[in-house]
Amino acid sequence: MALVLWLLAPSVQAAPAPDNDAARRQVEALEHRWLASETDPAALDDILADEFLHVVPQGIITKDEQLAFMRAHPAPKDGSTRRFEELRVRVFGTAAIATGIVAATTPDGKTKKTAFTDVFAYRDGRWRAVNAQETPLTRP
């Protein structure tokens, strides 16, 4: 029995983690895709892992709760633009952490900034977000 388990062990191991530089670029691209489609439930359904949790000032929201709310309350097209003011991605094997600041500017020139931390897991050959936390930044 021990011999059978020893022979099978390599086949049940997780897929190897991607190269760190490639992984960093993949997560950065995913962050840009997420920012560009943050009001699109179909796009987010693909980006977020099933067990995704979103920590916001109002509490902790699951993926299903977030997508259901977005489908019931589509975001208005207000002409705002969003961009990363800062984006850093660190890779730790099959986990990656992205931190940064998003600046959202309304057509009248008002800008709101949000600091964020997103956590990604590499599974089945792709990165998916498993956790996110956002904190609105206030001016001093």
Residue 24, domain CATH? 3.10.450.50
Residue 14 reports pLDDT greater than 90: no
Between CA 46 and CA 52 the distance in angstroms is 11
- Spatial contact of 87 and 98, defined as CB atoms under 8 Å apart: yes
Q: Which tens digit of pLDDT belongs to each residue from 67-121?
A: 999 999 988 788 889 999 999 999 999 999 999 999 999 999 999 999 999 999 9
Between CA 52 and CA 78 the distance in angstroms is 27
What is the model's pTM?
Answer: 0.83
Asked if residue 110 is part of any domain, the answer here is yes
Asked if residue 93 is part of any domain, the answer here is yes
Domain range holding 76? 18-137
pLDDT of residue 78: 80
Tally of domains in the chain = 1
Asked if residue 73 is part of any domain, the answer here is yes
